[in-house]
Amino acid sequence: MRALPADAQAVVFDCDGLLVDTEVCWTVAETALFAAHGRVFGHTEKALVIGRTVEAAGEAMADCFGRPGAGGDLAAELLERVREELARGAAPLPGAVELVRACRAAVPIAVASNSPRELLDAALASAGLAAYVTHTFAADEVPSPKPAPDLYLTACEALGADPTRSVAFEDSATGISAARAAGLYVAVVPSLPGAGLDHDWLGAGLDEPELLDWAGRLGDGTARRPPDRDARRARRSDM
């Protein structure tokens, strides 16, 4: 496991489920779509679609429903349902605004999302984050979205940063794979419970004090690696 670098050149955030509480919107839409096809939507089904593009989620649902070739139609239906839910508004997740502002004060930042441009813009605007992030990259703007590295490589290039000296914040295995493939350090706040996610830092929220302390010290050479939540538990259990 590496440490989050004190001298990071850039920080790139995922959006859905990490900065903005849009997973509620997606889950409501996905639950309704599964119900329309006579299926129950639970943890296993959520794991099947979380972090994917709308198109990839459509294909996954087509396989789940036993409807080969229906991926495009299911993706279009999902997009419309999410659009309707997002129009009701989405809040920033705890610590998101503070962390974005702290990182932005020290290094260039960006958002790289597997959502299409219209949903990404709507989410950031609804959560009051649009004013803080001038570089944003959506799934429909790169050749291959997550889990491919394109979004993160594009973001780092636009920020003039070396990916291997940049930090990604993610909440899903799909996004983690993309960040790792691009060579970034990865800080993870999981949207779904479960072990085994690859990470350099793992926590319960963006508002964890040690993470905000690290962000506040970015750029001055004195930042330290925020303790991994699992490592903290292990140390306490040894006492």
The confidence score (pLDDT) of residue 210 equals 87
Percent of the chain at pLDDT > 70 equals: 90
The larger pLDDT score, comparing residue 216 to residue 65, is at: 65
Q: Which residues of 50-84 are buried (b: 16+ CB within 10 A; e: fewer)?
A: bbbbbbbbbbbbbebbeeeebbeebbebbbebbee
Which pLDDT tens digit goes with each residue over 26-63?
888 899 999 999 999 998 898 888 888 889 999 999 99
- Pairing between β-strand 166-170 and β-strand 185-188 as defined by DSSP bridges: parallel
| Strand, coil or helix: 13 | strand
The larger pLDDT score, comparing residue 221 to residue 70, is at: 70
Separation CA 235–CA 92 (nearest Å):
32
Paired tokens of 41: 């939507």
Domain co-membership, 135 together with 203 = yes
Q: How many CB atoms lie within 10 A of CB 141?
A: 16
Distances (CA, A) of 72 to 39, 56, 76, 91, 148: 19, 9, 6, 29, 20
Domain co-membership, 184 together with 81 = no
The confidence score (pLDDT) of residue 220 equals 66
Paired tokens of 30: 């996905």
Q: How many domains does the chain have?
A: 2
- Pairing between β-strand 166-170 and β-strand 201-202 as defined by DSSP bridges: unpaired
Say which residue the tokens 């990404």 belong to: 120
> Would residue 138 count as lying in a domain?
yes
Domain co-membership, 135 together with 156 = yes
Domain co-membership, 133 together with 170 = yes
Q: How many CB atoms lie within 10 A of CB 87?
A: 11
Which pLDDT tens digit goes with each residue over 87-140?
888 999 999 999 999 999 999 999 999 999 999 999 999 999 999 999 999 999
Which pLDDT tens digit goes with each residue over 67-87?
999 999 999 998 899 888 888
Q: How many CB atoms lie within 10 A of CB 233?
A: 10
Note the pTM of the prediction, 2 decimals: 0.81
Domain co-membership, 34 together with 116 = no
Domain co-membership, 178 together with 82 = no
Per the CB < 8 A criterion, the answer to whether 159 and 5 are in contact is: no
- Pairing between β-strand 136-137 and β-strand 109-112 as defined by DSSP bridges: parallel
Domain co-membership, 122 together with 233 = yes
The larger pLDDT score, comparing residue 129 to residue 6, is at: 129
Separation CA 121–CA 107 (nearest Å):
22
The confidence score (pLDDT) of residue 47 equals 86
The confidence score (pLDDT) of residue 102 equals 95
Q: What is the mean pLDDT of residues 153-163?
A: 98
Domain co-membership, 81 together with 122 = no
Range of the domain at 118: 10-21+90-237
Residue 112 bridge partners (DSSP): 137
Segment (H or E) for 233: helix 229-237
Domain co-membership, 44 together with 158 = no
Domain co-membership, 123 together with 231 = yes
Domain co-membership, 28 together with 42 = yes
Domain co-membership, 63 together with 166 = no
Omega of the bond prior to 147 within 30 degrees of 0, cis?
Answer: yes
